[in-house]
Structure 1
């Protein structure tokens, strides 16, 4: 049995793990990066990048199909070649993955270890069958995996997760999407625009990440026009019949519906990948789902030299948050017992639907009702949005009554991904609504809609 001694052992070579490794090395510690699966990060392989490639193809199809409103006509049928669509998705995906793999390949061989790790005790890991790693500190950065309820597991390869979509060689004809979160909405809309018959079934009225009732209701109406959308569906049965799946569910209106699909795409949430780590062999306190109890400020598990970062801690499953947490965890692990809190950036979340979805700062549900006012704008009559025929959207901005500071926003609308960055910067700079309105706004741009919402908040503040 080979035993490796190191200052910091990092389990997982995704976005958080790679950041933790670099941070530990920058702090002067020896470090070893342990990965049991393929290198390339969730984002590059099956997340952010391939999904945006599919969405880009869907947008191209949508714009071509709706060009007549501008007086631009396509004479003849619009043809979507599913094989060509998926070939580009996989070709470009592999290119992005190659960049990450090249970075890992450039690391010293002594700093990399291939195999699945499990704890023997707080500071000792077993990797594979013939290697042990003795570490002064350990970073758990094992990421997360999609949840697959037992009802759908019984369907075999007809029940898929988002990872599987990007392995397709061609587009199917009919897909049921289970789950109305960000992944379900993004992929559901993209597939529908590419000619796939899509039924998206939620369970609890969720529409993406929205907590603002008015914005959620508006978004629900928008997506209901794009595909069959049942936010309150109750799935009663899922039966495989050859290479098809028959679903029976009760619709929002109480109607019993049966539909047949080629695949059921399950997007019903994700769970941290900690099940195979044998955490029961450690002295770490575990919560009800087996996750180490840790300090969200320092990412440290109790008083132990163990840190947990990225999707593995289940807090903010976003790439930029994972990278930030990885850096903090790697630095704290290298400098243990001297640890510092993670320097959090302004919260920002985006869904690449059309219209786009974005949330910045505090959510509507987290604000005390009497502590803030809401500024509103509809993008339906907003000038630049109407010029582009992208005039669908509703934005709510939240402003603190006492300080007049901007504290958050939820919205669906055009160019949401870009406006979200402006608002995140304003929030991080702790600007008041008055200071924001003194900033320059060009004409005609979609951002003028944001100005309208801010002005509405000022009126409500009095």
Structure 2
């Protein structure tokens, strides 16, 4: 048995783990990164990068279809599914290689390959032949796609984001289970590329939206390009011929069936915590084996272990994982050296969905019963100048502030929302009021003027 000792052991070489390892080393700790594979980060390998490549292909096709709006004649549009997926994998592999190159540059004594498991509060077993002693450990094991019970016996007929991007050609039809950010992004991109899409979700909303006006608008926009089955439950699925037959119960209780080439499980990604032996580390475990931990320091109850990134389930988004990784790395180094831990204020919530139109959620969530404590500013993109120029005039904004006008958050559905939402997130983080943000430059003609319209409504209400 090989025996190794370090100050900080980092389990997982994804976005959070890489950031944690680097931060711990910068803080002067001897840190070892343990990777079980396949590595390359969820974002680059199976998440944000390949999905955006698929979305870009769908956008190019849709732009050609809608060229007539601008007086352009595109006589024939043909989608080569194999070529689309070949480019996707080629670019995806390039992003992954860049991550791997960074790991390959690490000294040999700074990384280990193998599956890690806690033996006690100061020791990890890595693989079968290595024991790693530590003063502090970081769990950065990421997450994996959830496969609903009715789909678990379908074999390769059920796809996840871990397998979708490896198929050789586009299917003729695809059932997408889950209308959240990942599901609706892939569903719309596939539909634009000519795949017949049915989306199933137990809820009534898509893309994570919750404000009734935007939920209604999103359902209308996305429903125009695919078949939506909201408020439904899939009760049975079986292989049939070269495809799969699916049975579901609609919200009126009626049973329906349909046949699809493939089915995509996009119903979330729970943390990868099984098999780690967290109980052996002395940690206090809650529901489903999740350690109890301080969301600011990321330190778990019961042992010198921190948990970060998708593994802790706070906000499974890359920019949050990178920041949490840095916090965990610095705090693990401090813990190993007997120094106080940092407890930084969390970033304002910021989540985006890269559909067309885009969607975003910023800051405090929508609360239906908070009308007495909040002022809401509304704006529609349907008649907004720049949106009409670009032919992207759908959706709108709903922004809320407290009764004094201080911005709290909002939801968005529309063009350029990836930029507008960051503008609003910065203002919420800095504690600005609607009037203060409105007093910043808003260039004409831009989509940002739509944000100014909603801010003006709040400012007027406060003044009254």
Tell me the TM-score normalised to structure 2 length: 0.97
Distance 2:418 2:255 in 1: 38
Task: Indicate the larger mover: 133-142 or 275-284.
Answer: 275-284
Deviation at 1:342, TM superposition (A): 3.4
1:21 alignment counterpart:
21
- Kept in 2, the 8 Å contact 1:11–1:142? The answer is yes
Show CA shifts across 1:390-424 (max 9, x none).
0001210001113x111101010000001111111
Provide the alpha-carbon RMSD of the alignment. Answer: 1.3
Specify the SS of the correspondent of 2:288: coil
1:193 alignment counterpart:
192
2:410 alignment counterpart:
409
Deviation at 1:303, TM superposition (A): 5.0
Show CA shifts across 1:368-410 (max 9, x none).
43221110001001011011110001210001113x1111010
1:395 alignment counterpart:
397
2:376 alignment counterpart:
374
Deviation at 1:214, TM superposition (A): 2.1
Distance 1:434 1:46 in 2: 42
- Kept in 2, the 8 Å contact 1:118–1:277? The answer is yes
1:242-253 equivalences under 5 Å are 242-252=241-251
1:296 alignment counterpart:
295
1:438-449 equivalences under 5 Å are 438-449=439-450
Deviation at 1:256, TM superposition (A): 3.5
- Kept in 2, the 8 Å contact 1:375–1:460? The answer is no
Specify the SS of the correspondent of 2:248: strand
Count of residues in correspondence between the two structures? 460
Task: Indicate the larger mover: 245-254 or 298-307.
Answer: 245-254
Distance 1:314 1:367 in 2: 27
Is 1:55 matched with 2:51? no
- Kept in 1, the 8 Å contact 2:360–2:421? The answer is yes
Deviation at 1:282, TM superposition (A): 2.4
- Kept in 2, the 8 Å contact 1:43–1:319? The answer is yes
- Kept in 1, the 8 Å contact 2:8–2:30? The answer is yes
- Kept in 2, the 8 Å contact 1:177–1:184? The answer is yes
Distance 1:123 1:242 in 2: 53
2:222 alignment counterpart:
223
1:74 alignment counterpart:
74
Distance 1:144 1:127 in 2: 20
Which residues of structure 1 form unaligned runs of 5+?
Answer: none
Distance 2:134 2:6 in 1: 5
Deviation at 1:280, TM superposition (A): 2.4
Task: Indicate the larger mover: 390-399 or 427-436.
Answer: 427-436
1:3 alignment counterpart:
3
1:20-419 equivalences under 5 Å are 20-75=20-75, 77-252=76-251, 255-336=254-335, 337=338, 338-365=340-367, 368-402=370-404, 404-419=405-420
Deviation at 1:81, TM superposition (A): 0.3
Distance 1:350 1:409 in 2: 12
1:436 alignment counterpart:
437
- Kept in 2, the 8 Å contact 1:325–1:342? The answer is no
- Kept in 2, the 8 Å contact 1:355–1:393? The answer is yes
Specify the SS of the correspondent of 1:381: coil
Specify the SS of the correspondent of 2:162: helix
Deviation at 1:227, TM superposition (A): 0.5
Query: For the structure 1 residues 157 and 322, does the alpha-carbon distance in structure 2 shift closer, same or farther, using more than 3 Å as the test?
Result: same
Specify the SS of the correspondent of 1:289: helix
Deviation at 1:118, TM superposition (A): 0.5
Distance 1:320 1:414 in 2: 22
Deviation at 1:253, TM superposition (A): 5.7
- Kept in 1, the 8 Å contact 2:137–2:332? The answer is yes
Specify the SS of the correspondent of 1:163: coil
- Kept in 2, the 8 Å contact 1:301–1:308? The answer is yes
Distance 1:243 1:281 in 2: 46
Query: For the structure 1 residues 67 and 255, does the alpha-carbon distance in structure 2 shift closer, same or farther, using more than 3 Å as the test?
Result: farther
Which residues of structure 2 form unaligned runs of 5+?
Answer: none
Specify the SS of the correspondent of 2:408: strand
Deviation at 1:222, TM superposition (A): 1.3
Deviation at 1:367, TM superposition (A): 8.0
Distance 1:432 1:291 in 2: 38
Specify the SS of the correspondent of 2:327: helix
- Kept in 1, the 8 Å contact 2:10–2:138? The answer is yes
